[in-house]
Amino acid sequence: MTTIPKPLLSMEFVLLAGISFFAFCNMAVFYGFYDYLETIGIPVEWRGVLLGLEPFTAFMLRLLLIPLISAANGARMLLIGLLLLVVALLSYRWATTIPSLIVLRILHGAAFVLVVSASITLVVRFIPEERSAQGFSLFSLATLLPYAIMPPLTEWLLPQVASAAEIYAVVSVLAIPAILLLLMGQQRLNLAVAGLDQTLTRRPGRQELQEDLRQPAVLLLLAVNLGVYLVYSTVFYFMKNFAGHLGGGEVGTFFTLSTVTLILTRLLGGLVFDRFPKLRTLKMSMAGLALCLLGLAQADSGEKLAALAVIYGLGIGVCLPLLNSVLFMASPPNLRGVNTNLALFMMDAGFFLSPWLGGAYLAAGGEVSVLFTGCALLLALASALLLAVRLNSGNHGRRIW
How confident is the model at residue 288, as a pLDDT?
92
Contact 34, 47 (CB under 8 A): yes
Q: Locate CATH 1.20.1250.20 in the chain.
A: 1-203, 206-401
How confident is the model at residue 6, as a pLDDT?
57
Residue 41 backbone zone (phi > 0: left; psi -120 to 50: alpha; other: beta) = left
206-401 is a CATH 1.20.1250.20 domain: yes
Q: Please count the residues of the chain.
A: 401
- pTM of the predicted model, to two decimals? 0.72
178: exposed, middle or buried (C-beta count within 10 Å: 0-12, 13-18, 19+)?
A: buried
The identity of residue 20, as a single letter, is: S
For residue 374, CA distances in Å to 76, 84, 348 come to 42, 37, 20
Rounded distance between C-alpha atoms, residue 324 and residue 258, angstroms: 20
The identity of residue 229, as a single letter, is: Y
Ranges of residues in the chain with a pLDDT under 70 are 1-9, 66, 70-71, 129-134, 136-137, 185-214, 244, 247-252, 269-274, 334, 337, 391-401
Contact 130, 274 (CB under 8 A): yes
Nearest to 401 by CA among 269, 275, 271: 275
How confident is the model at residue 199, as a pLDDT?
43
Buried b (16+ CB within 10 A) or exposed e, 345-355: bbbbbbbbbbb
How confident is the model at residue 89, as a pLDDT?
93
The identity of residue 38, as a single letter, is: E
Assign domain 1-203 to its CATH superfamily.
Answer: MFS general substrate transporter like domains (1.20.1250.20)
- The vertex-361 CA angle with 224 and 46, nearest 5°, equals 100
